[in-house]
Amino acid sequence: MIMRSTLSFLLAVASFSAMAQSEITKLEPVSFSQVTITDNFWKPKLEKIATSAVPVMIYQTEIATGRIRNYEKVARHQNEKHEGIYYDDSDVYKALEAIAYSLKNDADKALEQKADEWIDKIAAAQEEDGYINTFYSLTGLENRWSDMEKHEDYCAGHLMEAGVAYYQTTGKRKLLDVAIKMADHIDETFRKPNRPWVAGHEEIELALVKLYKVTDDKKYLELSDWFLDQRGHGHGKGGIWDNPQWGPKYAQDDVPVKDQKEITGHAVRAMYLYTGAADVAAAKNDAGYMNAMKTVWEDVVYRNMYVTGGIGSSGSNEGFSVDFDLPNENAYSETCASVGMVFWNQRMNALEGNSKYIDVLERSLYNAALDGLSLEGNRFFYGNPLASSGQHNRREWFGTACCPSNISRLVASVGDYIYAKSEDAIWVNLFIGSMTKFQFGSVEVPVEMTTNYPLDGVINLTLNPEQKSKYALKLRLPGWAKDEPVPGGLYKFDGERKEDFSLLLNGKPIAYTEENGYLTIEREWEKGDQIQYSLPMEVRKLVSREEVTANADRIAIQRGPLVYCVEGADNNGKAWNILIPENANFNVVEYQVLDEKVMAVQADMTILSGSEDGTNLQSETKKITAIPYYTWANRGQNEMQVWLPTKIQEVKIIR
């Protein structure tokens, strides 16, 4: 294992100690329910969720599997058999959450009626004391809360998230009330002396904070803090804890949360845990959690993150192995982990007001997470490799079906991640065509953003305060628009930047300050003020730190927030026989991948042919097309590579 730098660690400790003595910065992200998406890139994807992904989830939930039938069986009280896996309830709740977001984007009455039908069945399956979990209701309530790995609290967390989302969209409380009753049951069962419990699969921590925010009942915030505080004290028993291959590290239970310094174990569980910890840090002004989160975040981003923003390289534990172990073809990089990276980095940004967290969020969102959803919206990736010999393909469903509903709820709720607000400022984090409103004192400020991002880098903002009003506008300046593609230097640009950003107010240059990755304009704003913000969208080559041996003598291609790959479908069926010359001249062209309009990158490269053993090699120069990584594997199984070789010994001939 690569050892951490002692000096870096000591400097980090000093930095954290200083921060612990000061007030935590707090931003309030603007909710999806307050944002209307008009974007050329994202709106069609939201529509695909509603018209393709949601129907798949409804079919799988009602017909192909027993997920809804389990609730019906509980309500009938006829001792019927449970169908499926003990954590399948969670998929129903995530599907309902995705439906809630879709209803915000398109008020489909038939879809809302279907959701209400499910909610009625869920409510009918709730026990009198508030407990709800179809596995234990059908297999024996006497065994509930006896096995920490059985995901009871995980399912409850997804119920809470769904209840909150459905209430925020429709105003209907039925599912929210079911969630509240379950939360009250959990609180009454556990938050008492000598009753330890460690959630085997984290999720309830972040969900309880959502419940706290919508109900304003601090009991749920304290319960979330209680769950966090249970970890690292030897309370974990059975299942994963007794497995010598996994142990407490697998569930982030080896040390208390506030003492954690490195990423370990199952990637999705880790992301949900750290999102909840950041939420509690913000709500309780607890610098202890924030310090731990920042330390672990640096371990993830500086040493354990793919160039796509994916995390969790190992399939054996669905998570982390050792530092810089980032294989490409065997990458696990679970879709759910990338969804979790979006959650966690949003919370970190809200705590600290630093754009580096949104840089990582954007990388994960546009690449590793979005890759989990097919262009047609009805097929999915569980893992997201960065290379393929043609063995990978998208699927409609999985035995463990967390990823389809997870990526669907993320895409449908993308409005959650665009804007944030502080006491005296509007923060623009993502560049997505949309409309929302801010309130400063008695003045309402409608904001409209229009853009073709990420096809081009021009972002237009129109601010329409009801009357002249003074506040700050903070525009994120992405690291990739400067010379830092990712914080910490795990990946660096190869070559000099040739373009720069520009910023205009009503067609004229405007003064600004730059701090923590944001350009700040402070002035008295008037109705109709227009900002034109242009980001450089040049093609850049990326290289890895030398410790990432999988990428030795290779480069990756990035344009704007998008990482590119070479796929056989665009290159005579081949992607492994390519040698990229040092002086490659990249051209950007409009291109179609099925119905998806993209900006492809083309360059003349060396194509090698011959025997698989490397003999009888011949070379020729051909124009090679690279496409955005998220679009690959939509035209059948074929070869693909993100990291392209720069030396002949790295080229592979596949017959």
User: Catalytic positions, please?
Assistant: 318, 402
The residues, any chain, with a CB within 8 Å of residue 53's CB and separated by 6 or more, are 98, 373, 377, 378, 404, 408
Please list the alpha-helical segments (H only) found in 230-333.
239-242, 267-284, 287-303
Q: What angle do CA 352, 354, 357 make, to 5 degrees?
A: 100
How large is the angle between the packed helices 287-303 and 6-20, nearest 10 degrees? 150
Residue 636 is inside which H or E element, if any?
Answer: none
Show Cβ contacts of residue 493 under 8 Å, excluding neighbours closer than 6 positions.
483, 485, 540, 541, 542
Q: What residue type is assigned to position 370 of the chain?
A: L
CA 8 to chain centre: 28
Kindly report the backbone phi and psi dihedral angles of residue 168, in degrees, each rounded to the nearest multiple of 5, phi listed first. -65, -35
Q: Which of helix, strand or coil describes residue 420?
A: strand
Alpha carbon distance 558, 208 (integer Å): 38
In this structure, the strands spanning 539-544 and 28-29 are unpaired
Q: Quick one: three-class SS letters along 238-266?
A: CHHHHCCCCCHHHHCCCCCHHHCCCCCCE
Task: List the structure tokens of 381.
Answer: 């990736």
Distance CA 300, CA 297 (A): 5
- Residues 240-259 as b or e (16 or more Cβ within 10 Å = b): bbeeeebbbbbbbbbbebbe
Backbone angles phi, psi at 375, to 5 degrees: -65, -30
Q: Bridge partners of 597? A: 592
Distances (CA, A) of 85 to 246, 265, 267: 21, 22, 21
Pairing of strands 554-559, 644-645: antiparallel
The interaxial angle of helices 174-190 and 109-124, nearest 10 deg, is 30
Query: Which pair of tokens denotes residue 339?
Result: 């969804």
- Residues with Cβ within 8 Å of 426's Cβ and at least 6 positions away in sequence, in order, are 419, 438, 445, 447, 463, 471, 472, 473, 474
For the record, the structure tokens of 303 come out as 């040493």
Q: Give, as one character, the DSSP assignment of residue 550.
A: G
Question: 622 phi and psi, to 5 degrees?
Answer: -140, 155
347 close to 24: Cβ distance less than 8 angstroms:
no
Say how many residues make up the chain. Answer: 655
